[in-house]
Structure 1
């Protein structure tokens, strides 16, 4: 069975034949009008056919594969510097290009004894720094951050102004104090010295141990001879 488009094309061919044979003006005008109508219908049918074909091709296309969005990973910040004024403890963190990220990508959260910094989406990575157990309390409301060229400056407002911080955190203070040799003033001074030498001996390498052993032997020999100088 012929399609509607094929039927129209046959009608058009027949009208053309009749138009060639017609001699009367009125007949020719009528055939010309009919010819134009058929040509318009054929054109519309062909456009509809092309549109349907394009739709079918679109439906057959595989769905676009959407690449997963990668947010990168978080880098822990361990290198920083700090100093202080009468009112603030200032922490300096160097991050190349940090001044170029949106302001909302640099976030700092303060508590009375801590702060944590998060820099998001800097060159495909995030950067994090968490400092707990600050040496002394800070004012949460008075603390802030500043972003400068390649640098984040964290300003911790001292709760007690005009006080000096010897360390940034309580942990640093405790570690430093443990490293200091302890002297008991109530014990014999020579015993305190022996404790220091004992610690040096235990922590020293083989050369240090040989040196201490040699000095100890020489000291004992002098004492045996009645020479008490060490």
Structure 2
């Protein structure tokens, strides 16, 4: 019995090594399935104790193979999102996430935030925290779904049938700062100057030289026109 368990544990270690090196999805899925199968075999064989052994162990539960210890936590920065009348949906791609236990995928909601933690996925933890959501959400009505290679966060809108132009308040402020001023109640030339200023600040050296040249030429033409008049 001990010899069989030992051989299975060697197989398990080799599968783990191959899993760390594999990059192709099909190969990784096959290795993950094989790893789960071997772990189950090890667990079953370890639990096959004689009555005398169980008595000596004072009815302690049979030893099980310890899960892979996680090395570090990866911060999730890439995601996509869309919305319906009732929900804002955030899509996070995590290869193989459908194979981890349900309790390893945890999401905590507040009225203006959520944080996702996926534990022990291929030896790593994955974390995503989103604060300052654009609008309030219903904590009780929000949830998560695990699909193939994807976690979907479902934030229930507190006010249904309202549109979210951005996911967070921070994103909204950043986007609004980038917009040039087109105030129709002010001098139209002032709005143009704001646009040119924005282009100048964001442009490379060639762009800045071109704008400077055009500005000088415009001033010269303006001065020439005033002289002729």
Measured against the shorter chain, the TM-score band is 0.5 to 0.7
Unaligned runs of 5+ in 1: none
Q: C-alpha separation between the residues in 1 aligned to 2:196 and 2:41?
A: 111
**Local SS of the residue matching 2:58:** helix
Query: TM-score, with normalisation over the residues of structure 2?
Result: 0.66
**Cα gap change, 1:229 to 1:218, in 2 (>3 Å):** farther
77-86 or 211-220, larger mean C-alpha shift: 211-220
8 A Cα contact 2:145 2:151, kept in partner: yes
Q: Which residue of 2 aligns with 1:148?
A: 147
After superposition, the Cα gap between the structure-2 partners of 1:226 and 1:125, relative to the gap in structure 1 and judged at 3 Å, is same
Name the residue aligned to 2:65.
66
CA contact (8 A) 1:222 1:229 kept: no
SS in 1 for 2:49: helix
Q: Are residues 37 and 75 of structure 1, via their aligned partners in 2, closer, same or farther at CA, if it must alter by over 3 Å?
A: closer
Aligned residues of 2:43 and 2:65 also touching (Cα < 8 A):
no
* Residues paired across the two proteins, number: 229
Distance 1:100 1:192, change over 3 A: same
Pair member with larger Rg: 1
Distance 2:24 2:184 in 1: 140
Q: What do the CA deviations read for 1:75-108 (whole angstroms, capped 9, x no partner)?
A: 1111111110000001111111111111111111
Unaligned runs of 5+ in 2: none
In 1, Cα distance between the equivalents of 2:226 and 2:22? 152
Q: Secondary structure at the match of 1:68?
A: coil
C-alpha contact 2:54 2:60 (8 A) present in aligned 1: no
1:43 aligns with 2:30: no
Residue pairs, 1:160-171, within 5 angstroms = 160-171=159-170
Equivalent residue of 1:183, what SS? coil
Q: CA deviation at 1:204?
A: 2.0
Q: 1:19 to 1:84 in 2, by over 3 A?
A: closer
